[in-house]
Amino acid sequence: MFNRGGIVNIRHVGHHAIDSVLRLGYATRFIALTLLHSGTSFRRPRLIVRELYFSGVLSLIIILVSGLFVGMVLGFQGFHTLQTYGSESALGVLVALSLVRELGPVVAALLFASRAGSAMTAEIGLMKATEQLSAMEMMAVDPIARVVAPRFWAGVISMPLLAALFSAMGVFGGYLVGVVLIGVDEGSFWSQMQNAVDFREDILNGVIKSCVFGVAITWIALFEGYDAPPTAEGVSGATTRTVVTSSLVILGLDFILTSFMFRGV
């Protein structure tokens, strides 16, 4: 009895292991196919422009508003803590560095995953469930080149732009609270910020981070959609998995990237 239960459990573990390795292999083949077939979307940039509208422009409002509020909260909290040490003038440094290095890329990516990533999964999953993808194949139109690749590139392009907008909005929010509302000296706010923030070290690394996140999110979202079981339940499960997996992947990748980028200094 006990023995049998043990074997079943071990079988269970083995099944999951084989399953996840298989899925990883499928996902790798999927991204390779996507990259291989992206020629069409660059020859017809209109395809990418359309997807840029859906994943980039429609995410703008949530990104801008969250950026503003995150910046304003950072302004309040930073001022509160820095005041204890009599160094309120370093508020600009605190707001700018935390936004440009971490919060901008990470929070923008989390929002992007839940706003645009889930939509991508649901759209492609439904296309598959309603056999639109098979219909394309019947018409000798490659669904990966026509449907997947433009969405992938649109996500990769719009992610760094959205992260930059988030950071800029956040710095503006910190300025609003710190300088306009509380009355930190405007000159020292900007000059200390400019002294501390380095273009290559901080801003460029933030952009690299957001590019990596863009690739990860769109890859996960598109694969989950493409791989979803063609049922209502399957599509909803795939959408949930997209948000959960990409959020976890963003946080893990952020830790790895940060430990490489900011270790020495």
C-alpha of 24 from chain center: 20
User: Given the rule CB under 8 A, which of 3-11, 125-133, 141-149, 187-195 is the region that contacts other proteins?
Assistant: 187-195
When binding is defined by CB under 8 A, the residue of 70, 74, 100, 221 that contacts other proteins is 100
**Cβ closest to other proteins, residue 99 vs residue 144:** 99
User: Given the rule CB under 8 A, which of 5-13, 124-132, 191-199, 226-234 is the region that contacts other proteins?
Assistant: 191-199
From the number of C-beta atoms within 10 Å of its C-beta (0-12, 13-18, 19+), residue 5 rates as: exposed
User: Which parts of 141-170 interact with other proteins (CB under 8 A)?
Assistant: 157-158, 160-162, 164-165, 167-169
**Cβ closest to other proteins, residue 92 vs residue 143:** 92
182, 75 contact by CB (below 8 A): yes
When binding is defined by CB under 8 A, the residue of 203, 208, 211, 215 that contacts other proteins is 203
When binding is defined by CB under 8 A, the residue of 52, 148, 249, 250 that contacts other proteins is 52
3-state secondary structure 25-93: HHHHHHHHHHHHCCHHHHHCHHHHHHHHHHHCHHHHHHHHHHHHHHHHHHHHHHHHHHHHCCCHHHHHH
Report if residue 207 touches other proteins, rule: CB under 8 A.
Answer: yes
**Cβ closest to other proteins, residue 44 vs residue 50:** 50
Report if residue 94 touches other proteins, rule: CB under 8 A.
Answer: no
When binding is defined by CB under 8 A, the residue of 184, 197, 216, 253 that contacts other proteins is 197
User: What stretch of H or E contains 180?
Assistant: none
DSSP 132-176: HHHHHHHTT--HIIIIIHHHHHHHHHHHHHHHHHHHHHHHHHHHI
